[in-house]
């Protein structure tokens, strides 16, 4: 006797179980994928800051071992001074930032101030007259030999996107950001770059934090 053709189908319970399993897997995997994407963006950002550190090292070779200033006369800022060693405006853009980027004009390097999503440490590499000149005998630009612990002193870091002043930051918390896993990528005065938690750079200028922002506060 031949077998009858029997049609099979999912029951409602089986279908609901499959849907529940798919939803559970999606809930588990989507955050993993998002974290993996942010890890890639953080790595790209860190590469940008590393290249900026290398540009400063080359700049100092050409200018008697002095760091660029955050802002000089006219439109001369650190973005203007480092661009000849980088020659790519995209290096100044953090891949984790989604807001529109102002236009860059090769004929106006001051436009890099608006493009840049990184800031330079104004507390150690500022402009004009150093407010601590009388007390410590300091002046800008900062000389390499004056920095006792360059591997610990902040040079560049992720910046908040707060308009025209986004390209500089200081020990008081001006413009500093924490957009990568609640932390920031930082270039140090010796040129190396590293991710750090906010407690490294955002505690309001306490004794523990100041040596990372002000080179004259560094222990001997």
Contact 94, 158 (CB under 8 A): yes
Q: What is the pTM of this model?
A: 0.80
Contact 202, 119 (CB under 8 A): no
Helix %, strand %, coil % of the chain (to 5): 45, 15, 45
Is the pLDDT at 2 greater than 60, yes or no? no
- Listed in sequence order, the residues at least 6 apart from 188 whose beta carbon sits closer than 8 Å to its beta carbon are 53, 150, 151, 152, 153, 154, 155, 194
- Listed in sequence order, the residues at least 6 apart from 208 whose beta carbon sits closer than 8 Å to its beta carbon are none
Given pLDDT bands bounded at 50, 70 and 90, which one contains residue 33? low
How do beta strands 154-158 and 118-121 pair?
A: antiparallel
For residues 215 and 205, what is the distance between their CA atoms, to the nearest angstrom?
A: 13
Which sequence spans correspond to the domains of the chain? Answer: 13-217
Q: Is 171 exposed, middle or buried (0-12, 13-18, 19+ CB in 10 A)?
A: buried
Please name the helix (run of DSSP H) or strand (run of DSSP E) that holds residue 38, with its range, or none.
helix 12-62
Q: What are phi and psi of 46, to 5 degrees?
A: -60, -35
Which of residues 190 and 98 earns the better pLDDT score? 190
Given pLDDT bands bounded at 50, 70 and 90, which one contains residue 36? low
Given its phi and psi angles, is residue 197 left (phi above 0), alpha (psi -120 to 50 degrees) or beta? beta
- Mean pLDDT, residues 151-175 taken together: 85
pLDDT tens for each residue of 115-125: 889 999 999 99
pLDDT tens for each residue of 69-115: 998 765 688 998 999 999 899 999 999 887 777 777 776 777 788 88
Contact 215, 148 (CB under 8 A): yes
- Mean pLDDT, residues 60-72 taken together: 92
Is the pLDDT at 210 greater than 70, yes or no? yes
Q: Is 104 exposed, middle or buried (0-12, 13-18, 19+ CB in 10 A)?
A: middle
Is the pLDDT at 3 greater than 60, yes or no? no
Q: What is the pLDDT of residue 173?
A: 80
């Amino acid at each position: 006797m031949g077998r009858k053709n029997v049609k099979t189908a999912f029951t409602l319970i089986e279908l609901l179980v499959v849907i529940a399993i798919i939803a559970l897997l999606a809930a588990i995997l989507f955050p993993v994928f998002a974290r993996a994407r942010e890890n890639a963006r953080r790595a790209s950002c860190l590469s940008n800051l590393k290249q900026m550190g290398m540009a400063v090292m080359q700049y100092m070779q050409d200018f008697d071992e002095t760091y660029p200033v955050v802002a000089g006369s006219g439109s001369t800022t650190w973005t203007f001074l480092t661009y000849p060693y980088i020659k790519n405006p995209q290096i100044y853009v953090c891949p984790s930032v989604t807001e529109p980027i102002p236009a860059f004009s090769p004929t106006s390097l001051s436009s890099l101030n608006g493009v840049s999503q990184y800031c330079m440490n104004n507390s150690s590499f500022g402009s004009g007259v150093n407010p601590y000149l009388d007390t410590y005998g300091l002046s800008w630009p900062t000389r390499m030999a004056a920095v006792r612990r360059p591997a610990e002193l902040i040079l560049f870091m992720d910046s908040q996107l707060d308009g025209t002043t986004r390209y500089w930051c200081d020990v008081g918390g001006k413009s500093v950001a924490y957009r990568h896993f609640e932390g920031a990528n930082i270039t140090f005065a010796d040129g190396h770059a590293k991710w750090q938690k906010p407690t490294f750079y955002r505690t309001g200028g306490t004794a523990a934090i100041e040596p990372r922002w002000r080179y004259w506060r560094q222990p001997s």
